[in-house]
Amino acid sequence: MTDSDIGFLLELTAIPTAAGREGRVVSFIKDWVDRRDDLTLDTDASGNLTISIREPSDPGSPVYFTAHLDHPAFVVERVIAPSALELAFRGGVMDDYFPGARVEVITNDDKRLPGTIAEQTDPTTESPYKHYLCELDEPAEDITTSDIARWLLPEPSVENGIIYTHACDDLAAAACAMLAMDRVRAERAEGKHKADVRILFTRAEEVGFIGALAVVHHGTVPKDAKVIALENSRAFPEAPIGGGPIVRVGDRLTIFSPRLTDDIARIAEDIAGGPSTPTASQKQSDLPKWKWQRKLMAGGACEATVFCHAGLDATCVCLPLGNYHNMANLDEAQAGSLKDPKPGREHVAVADAAGMIDLLTACGSRLASPPPSKTSQRLDDLWENRRSILDER
């Protein structure tokens, strides 16, 4: 992963965004597409974005990389006074992280106004979201209900191979999709293939997959598509940061398309030159240096569930994420051993992001017409080579 790639990821993940208020990220993506004459950008009736390659592609199923453009954050619900606001939080964060938390209100003209969450309040209007009183450090006259707010955090940085930033979930995945698309474009220009690769960017995932549900209702994605939902999923000891991108076989709600998941796992194994975990006859040191993981990430749910239940062929690839939803020291907070939890920057490993880009690039060229299932091949080989043992009786 080049310094330019890392800079791109840092830039995108620092952009303020919230469910329903993704406009700044949308503008960034539109500018990116405008600088590439071979790409087109389409918007469905709900504001979801699809990036496609203009030039004709080989016949076959289109391959979609998908990521969502929002992140848990506040919207200004009501201006009570020049220094007092009612904020609504759109996303999933433990109540413990709000009292006394520092935030910054971001106005439409990009002014940053720091403040403090004072207390949770009852909504003044019907709302499915939690509401909080925010006291600004200084009075301000130009705040409106079209403004948003987010946790006040240090600026993004890279430290010891780890990217610390405001919103890895899901803008780090969005950045990886865009960087992979640039590689796919380069391969097509070199005549290596003409695969039909597209990127779908959805809105309002953090409040119940609303953008993905809109994609289904609008028919934004064709029924023959192969959809790779990209996520940043909470890291666990069995799915650690630095362990490589994760081929996610399912989430808390469902299991994803088995054959598509198997095909992506095969591509990952081919890139690595070995499996994701050692077999019983191997040592950890036997594994290749290019790391990847294959896990059931049951701690949450993702848009692959929406697409699968709509009848699409879909699965998920994710980055293991630290400080999930900006909840620092989450294990201790959930255990009740942390008295005063504070928000922190999300973080992912540079190497994991590089691995996701490698994997997506390979999927772009290979998934439209994948080879026979490696699992099926292994089972057939076992039968042919060892079935004679059943004659020993």
Q: What is the pLDDT of residues 323-335, one digit of tens each?
A: 999 999 999 999 9
Query: DSSP letter string over 119-185?
Result: EEE--SS--SSEEEEEEESS--S---TT-EEEE--PPPEEETTEEEES-HHHHHHHHHHHHHHHHHH
Mean pLDDT of 309-317: 98
pLDDT digits (tens, 9 = 90+) for 213-226: 999 999 999 999 99
pTM of the shown model: 0.93
Q: Does the pLDDT at position 251 exceed 90?
A: yes
Say which residues have a Cβ less than 8 Å from residue 47's Cβ, sequence separation at least 6.
Answer: 22, 26, 203, 211
CB 363 within 8 A of CB 11: no
Q: Does the pLDDT at position 279 exceed 70?
A: no
- Parts of the chain belonging to CATH 2.40.30: 85-151
Fold assignment, 85-151: Elongation Factor Tu (Ef-tu); domain 3 (2.40.30)
pLDDT digits (tens, 9 = 90+) for 111-162: 999 999 999 999 878 889 999 999 999 999 889 999 999 999 999 999 999 9
Q: Kindly indicate the confidence band of residue 282, based on its pLDDT and cuts at 50, 70 and 90.
A: low
pLDDT digits (tens, 9 = 90+) for 55-73: 999 988 999 999 999 999 9
CATH of span 3-71+157-377:
3.40.630.10
Mean pLDDT of 190-210: 97
Q: Among 74-78, 283-287, 325-329, name the one with the lowest average pLDDT.
A: 283-287
CB 199 within 8 A of CB 25: no
Sort strands 313-321 and 226-234 into parallel, antiparallel or unpaired.
Answer: parallel
Q: Kindly indicate the confidence band of residue 289, based on its pLDDT and cuts at 50, 70 and 90.
A: confident
User: For the chain, what percent of residues have pLDDT higher than 90?
Assistant: 87
Q: Does the pLDDT at position 369 exceed 80?
A: no
Per-residue model confidence (pLDDT) at position 280: 61
- Parts of the chain belonging to CATH 3.40.630.10: 3-71+157-377
- Residue 181, classed as helix, strand or coil, is helix
